[in-house]
Amino acid sequence: MGNSLVKTQLSDVKGFLTDTINTLETYLNDTTISQLEQHKESDTNTNRLILSNLRKLLVFCEESLDACSVIIQSEPFQKASAEKVLYQIFHRVIEEFFSPKNDAWYEDSRSAYTGKNSIKFYKSVPENLQQLVKGLEGEFQRIREELEYYETDYRTKIIQSK
């Protein structure tokens, strides 16, 4: 890929990360476990697990945003570094959203065929939490599709350099 294409993609991802950070910060700053427990079928441990995962996702997004900013501002543009950062964003941010390591929720891959949201919770969660994840999912899916290229391309480059 050319430098301008990679730089454009990095800028697009930077905008995505900025929006995601704002959304997550607003939700996490305005939401408490007590508020989530008011949902009748809500489970305290599940709520804690989900909020923990959202905080981790927020940190990954913030670190990734910092990396994007540094590379975009560097002169000359470091294409190899940019591709590495995009690869890492795919694995740290996108994969964490769709398959959190702590099993806060899961991706139902069959949903892609039905046009419905693919993120499913193991247990009942409050409506505002469901709406948050649904609201984020579309952009995460779009960025995942854009960055899947780096999954194979970056690995191929690493293997070939050995």
Q: Where is 127: in which H helix or E strand?
A: helix 127-161
Give the Cα separation of 102 and 96 in Å (integer): 9
Angle between helices 44-73 and 79-89 (to 10 degrees): 170
Residues 64/93, Cβ–Cβ less than 8 Å = yes
At residue 63, the pLDDT reads 98
pLDDT at residue 161, as a whole number: 63
Cβ atoms 68, 14 nearer than 8 A: yes
User: What is the per-residue pLDDT for 156?
Assistant: 63
Give the rounded distance of the alpha carbon of 110 from its chain centre. 20
The pLDDT of residue 90 is: 95
Report the 10 Å Cβ neighbour count for 100.
20
Here the tokens at position 51 are 């909020």
Question: What pLDDT sits at residue 87?
Answer: 93
Spatial contact of 25 and 100, defined as CB atoms under 8 Å apart: no
Instruction: Say what the pTM is.
Output: 0.89
Neighbours of 104 (CB within 10 A): 24
Ranges of the chain with pLDDT below 50: none
Instruction: Enter the tokens of residue 82.
Output: 């940019």
pLDDT of residue 109: 79
Residue 156's contacts (CB-CB under 8 Å, 6 or more residues apart) are none
Helix, strand, coil percentages, rounded to 5, for the chain: 75, 5, 20
